[in-house]
A and B are shown apart, each in its own frame.
Chain A
């Protein structure tokens, strides 16, 4: 079939994309633009133009939210929209889960490279669906709808919307599956598939797509929601062109991206000091005794070494050279995930007030080493829960940026890290009683969107209010979550002590919950979060990391009897050594020191505890003001034991005033004692180096630590060289147990 090119001036899209890439390569600027001529000619018209496009995106999102169904979209706002150039570069974005904005760029570029112009063809009114991590997506659960926008005969852009699904038909119910180990476990895959024409979604697609997930109703409404938003954006673009003219539009979209690129560079120059910044983070995967498939039965730790180089002219590069390997687990990340994570944090810390678009993407040089978890290069692996590596890995970026911000004097902007968005508890069951008998319920509480943020260099971190992937964080109401997960009602949502990272300024605090199974059968339950490692950013300038997670549940309990007799039931796990589970319940009580578990079966009156993350702290806890400690105690953020052991503060509870009282004299003394103890325990660097080196040479490291470093050594010559030089190992050195 002979078809006319749909690009500008008779070009094909493919040649436009190639031209854009070549110009970027040759001229080091977006589309080779040297001057922002529109901005120079009339800055006011130019800003007006940008404001009108961004305004349209924000209002499309606000409106589309009403069409969606899944509580994750409507209650927590897991939805965002973007406008893209014909080549797939984002021009402007709405608010929402900004992590996805660059991901849709990659989807568009994929279609162009694969020759979609000829087959299946791209026309006004066509609708494309994508959730493939190999085409820029983060994981299959994020579903994108993309529509081309034509003006007369030419393709002048794309509108894209993405929502996070409640279920994607994977190996188990849920949205971020930990038991998925290969592509075929990840659930429904749509690789930039055309699913509609003339602004209508094809019926055959809708029928088959609804059968592919466990929550067909949410699928349908969310798909309509993304389409509705995209159509509003297309209308806004038409209005823009009618007002400003097509020539202005064409020039404007490119200059806006180039300006975004220049601004990131300027912001880097303004806020950071040139140099090499490094930080590391880790994640545990305790699967040896949990995994179902032999291949996946191993305990792993992944290594996330991050390096940022800031040049004097504001050039900025990010590298994960030295990262450990990808593999038979759900935590592999492809490019979309890596870009998305990086991008969302840059917008939160550096360019929030500027033109937020793909200019920032082009301003950053990056290296995701092939074969590592950050770029496994194998499409048949699972990419279902990349967040497992992505979230901890980028805490290191926050820390690196914070060193720069601190050095430049932006002390209030310092963010040494953030809490993992977990416990991510998931699963589901079927009601076996009540008006919904026989209906399925899904457990996918998105209250994980409210975690503790790190302290800054001048104040404590934000409590229960941060999600790295969505700056508009929220917890949602229990009464709303229970509409969808009514088989596991809450018994509590209560501030949990000692989760906030210790420091002169403490990290954000958070809460723990207890819930039990009711009126249900066939209940599956699993969870994901770090448990055996601290996330590497781990506080700054003497501050501590936030606490890690653990699992606590009781099965075969006498809970029914307890309720009937009106006896005490557990509502917290504040004192783990004398826990309420153990004190109040009969049954099988299980505590596990890790946070990530494979699905288990639960039955009515089984009861679980889960908790949300705190944020890391800043500065030496011994320097924390006594009045702040008193407040922490009154607020239940720390136990008196922690206050004594870590902060060196002696306090007692005054029953009459119902407040804590600090013994100033004793506290001063105690702090001195701790300092002395520290001095006694301390060693100089040389001694420390020898001590640690001996652990490596004498095989004292555990199997999974050895494995992690062997992988890193194997995957990167540079990193391996530096590692060996630092520890003074011979060139043919290998980790023990390798």
Chain B
């Protein structure tokens, strides 16, 4: 982007990041100097690799280069995509899957959980029962076979496994020619004995019949409590993720043929990357919005920022995530296509508030209503060809002078301001009996306060205040709305990278190469900590197991496991609670010491961890809520293994004067603020130099985004080409 005019450079690629969306495939390439370029091409569904090569070609075109000449030194090749997720959302996955569950639980998938009916709805939708609906099932009921037997919640066998039930179930499933057999038995997260027995019998029968299909156990795949999310994860893996494996391998092959030496890595929902050869691909199902979070963490590290909130305004949603004390929190309860899951995901919350969101007037309540639907890439009524008939946020921004009708996507989509104005007049201003501009500004105010509430709620929910945080804004709509949704929150700093529109793809390239594994442990530490020595040794040995498992994953993809850095953490709660928090451990070997005074083993290391948990708990939930007198319950041991990979560098530019060059000026335009029109300076983003300051009211335009600076605000472009916004 910034360097696209310098054709004489070599542009040897170091990093290729790919983001395959439903319609477009984006590529983000970085050369040896840190210069970058963005390419776009149509996504090719059946053979993703074609779209990917086209997209890389497009990005190299801007430098007049070919992949064959520039790709030989690539050190990082990262992929994120929506193919798996779309396969799930559109119910186009592989449903030829056999499932073995406890007898009497053949309806487990069909019953699901009622919360899956409303989990994705807004406040009104949650109240309005007629909107509630179960997600359509993935696997037909006939593919579920029950076997008698039960393990209880502390892991003892209550009822022995009935082998003849297993034999019958396996026979029937093989008869049906299923592609694999998933096994999910109750309480297998505590004791996997019955699941392993099912596997043994199944393999035996297959051997006899000369058939071979994979048998996947829930106790191996995702050994955590909650049979519904555990089964969901198991099924979605086979239904939607596994079918992508071939595609991913093909992409890796194609790029290798073009001379790219770096192995392909896929971004995961917990922020690391993994190989297409790894055992489970489900962590890669959601990666799009994660890229932005990783990029944010990367920026936070480069700038030495402890607490950063990242905000991504896209066409349909507003995503918020936090980096807190240099650490990106993960959450456990997540949902995918309406199904709840127990897989770790970066704590990222979304609300439907994107630039394409519809704005309506409700004549009963006399109020404006927003969304939840969005015009998405159709933009709004200002896009005459789109057929959109309902006013969107973009229409509002356009008539207020914030957007340049002739420069949307660099002028590729001409916007009709008159049309937007007349629709806003008819649909919103007339029923409100107000002026259309005041109405449009009011509508944006309401949406922006919603965004602000969301942002603030997330920060406060973790026990902080905006004063502790720096705000990073990106996404195509971020720079347009950041002044609005940050108004009244006193952030330490507000940062807007020049490459805001492609920030998610950039973020992919910043991801670690890592695997995260976890296991339910259910260890109890009583209030006087008599068990802490035992807990220390159990945790140390569990972490050791996790470490071995993760090393195997790296080994499988040809990495040297000795390069791996292991990060131990654990999830715990006060005894009796149901919701846990994750705390990092300072060491993966917790020492236990004999205390002669107490005549038992104590562990100062466990004490350190418990102190961290107490502090975190109090920080989040505040006054009087700590309950150490109840003791602690360690629910899960978590291990993350990381091997070093090259990351993008942040190029540094010389600072020039505060006053921008004349060549970056595009004249003036009227913009609407606080009930009146203001003459505002207009700038070309690419032509501004590091060190320049632009005072509001102003609009800084780029093909893919627009930075709006209200009156009494100003922005300064720093040496890394990140804008810093200040205002009242």
Residues of A bordering B, CB below 8 Å: 39, 43-44, 47-48, 51-52, 54-56, 58-59, 62-69, 71, 74-75, 95, 98, 199-201, 217-218, 220-221, 224-225, 227-228, 231-232, 243, 263, 266-267, 270, 347-349, 352-356, 412-413, 415, 434-436, 449-450, 453, 456, 462-466, 471-480, 482-483, 486, 489-495, 511, 514, 518-519, 563-564, 566, 568-569, 571-572, 634-636, 658
Contacts and interface: CB of A to CB of B under 8 A. Distances in A.
Given A475-B114, A480-B226, A571 B103 contact: yes
A354 B123 CA distance: 10
A479 B225 contact: yes
A43 B574 contact: no
B67 to A, nearest CB: 47
Given A464-B114, A479-B225, A199 B123 contact: no
Nearest to B631: A217
B115 interface: yes
B156 interface: yes
Contacts of A52: 449, 453
A409 B441 CA distance: 36
Contacts of B366: 39, 43
Find the residue from A51, A64, A564 having the highest chain B CB count within 10 A: A51
A224 B227 contact: no
Given A59-B457, A472-B126, A491-B104, A201 B624 contact: yes
Q: For the complex of A and B, list the 5 residue pairs with the smallest distance between their C-beta atoms, beginning with the closest.
A: A492-B104, A571-B104, A44-B442, A55-B453, A352-B128
B10 interface: no
B367 interface: yes
Contacts, number: 251
A43 B442 contact: yes
Given A51-B450, A511-B107, A347 B127 contact: yes
Interface in B439-473: 441-443, 445-446, 449-450, 453-454, 456-457, 460-461
B365 A354 contact: yes
B105 A493 contact: yes
Given A52-B449, A95-B126, 19 more contacts: A47-B368, A48-B449, A59-B457, A95-B123, A98-B127, A200-B624, A217-B576, A228-B621, A232-B460, A263-B364, A354-B365, A456-B130, A462-B132, A471-B118, A476-B113, A478-B186, A486-B152, A491-B150, A511-B111
Given A471-B129, A480-B225, A67 B625 contact: yes
Given A67-B621, A199-B623, A495 B129 contact: no
Contact of A228 (B111, B186, B446, B623): B623
9 contacts: A47-B367, A51-B449, A51-B450, A66-B579, A69-B574, A98-B127, A474-B114, A477-B225, A495-B111
Contacts of A221: 574, 576-577, 627, 630
B130 A243 contact: no
B446 A348 contact: no
Contacts of A449: 114
A56 to B, nearest CB: 8
Nearest to B172: A658
Contacts of B385: none
Contact of A474 (B115, B134, B578): B115
Contact of B113 (A353, A477, A572): A477
A263 B620 contact: no
Given A74-B577, A266-B364, A466-B129, A489 B624 contact: no
Contact of B127 (A220, A465, A471): A471
Given A200-B624, A243-B488, A464-B114, A412 B104 contact: no
Contacts of A43: 366-368, 432, 442
Contacts of A225: 625
A62 B104 contact: no
Nearest to B349: A62
A635 B186 contact: no
Contacts of B154: 434-436, 486
Given A462-B133, A491-B150, A518-B152, A266 B365 contact: yes
Interface string B252-294: 0000000000000000000000000000000000000000000
Contacts of B457: 55-56, 58-59, 62
A473 B128 contact: no
Contacts of B162: 566
B187 interface: yes
Nearest to A196: B624
B49 interface: no
Contacts of B620: 63, 66
A462 B117 contact: yes
B5 interface: no
A489 B158 contact: yes
A58 B123 contact: yes
B141 interface: yes
Nearest to A562: B159
B107 A493 contact: yes
B114 A466 contact: yes
- Residue from A55, A267, A412 having most chain B Cβ neighbours under 10 A: A55
A463 B137 CA distance: 13
Interface residues of B, number: 85
B159 A563 contact: yes
Interface of B is mostly: mixed
A566 B160 contact: yes
Contacts of B229: 477
A572 B114 contact: no
A531 B159 CA distance: 33
A71 B153 CA distance: 15
Given A224-B627, A228-B622, A477 B111 contact: no
A477 B226 contact: yes
A164 to B, nearest CB: 14
Contacts of A475: 111, 113-114
B620 to A, nearest CB: 7
A74 B153 CA distance: 19
B576 A218 contact: yes
Contacts of A267: 364
A517 to B, nearest CB: 11
B228 interface: yes
Q: Which of B115, B189, B622 has the most CB of A within 10 A?
A: B115
Contacts of B575: 217
B548 interface: no
Contacts of A477: 113, 225-229
A348 B127 contact: yes
Nearest to A77: B115
A480 B578 contact: yes
A270 B579 contact: no
Given A43-B432, A464-B114, A480-B225, A494 B106 contact: yes
B440 to A, nearest CB: 11
Interface in B84-108: 102-108
A518 B158 contact: yes
Interface in B218-254: 225-229
Contacts of A564: 160
A634 to B, nearest CB: 8
A472 B127 CA distance: 7
A276 to B, nearest CB: 24
A635 B127 contact: no
Contact of A482 (B153, B368, B577, B581): B153
Nearest to A52: B453
A266 B104 CA distance: 49
A453 B228 contact: no
Given A51-B450, A63-B461, A477-B226, A466 B132 contact: yes
Interface in B158-172: 158-160, 162-164
B676 to A, nearest CB: 15
Contacts of A413: 130
Nearest to B444: A44
A514 B104 CA distance: 8
A476 B362 CA distance: 37
B369 interface: yes
A63 B226 CA distance: 21
Contacts of A347: 127
